Amino acid sequence: MFGDIMGMMGKLKETQQKVEETKKRLDTVLLEEKSNDDLLKVTITANRAVKSISIDEALLEDKEQLEDYLILTLNKAIEQATKVNEAELAAVAKDGMPNIPGMDSLFK
């Protein structure tokens, strides 16, 4: 019994390390989101850190329009990054979880 517990604890520690490595790797995964007319472009990491924003000159003339573009495009970028982040971390967690009865349904 203790061997099983120690094995599970080792597996959990290994999984935790893999999750941390995945989080670091996701800092290097860049995603680009654009407005529908390509006047605004946002680059974000899979960990949801904004890396760059490119604004077309035409948007600089209307503050409200620029604000709307920023909100919409940033929200789309964050949503995309969140999906990538969650999928990657769930895959690592599912792969590394010990076989505990009833726990497999948490990662489906």
47-75 per-position pLDDT tens digit? 999 999 999 999 999 999 999 999 999 99
Whether residue 102 has pLDDT greater than 60:
no
Please give the structure tokens belonging to residue 97: 């979880």
**Structure pTM?**
0.74
Cα 61 to chain center, whole Å? 33
Q: Residue 55: which H helix or E strand, with range? A: strand 50-55
User: Residues with Cβ < 8 Å from 97, sequence gap 6 or more?
Assistant: 11, 12, 15, 103, 104, 107
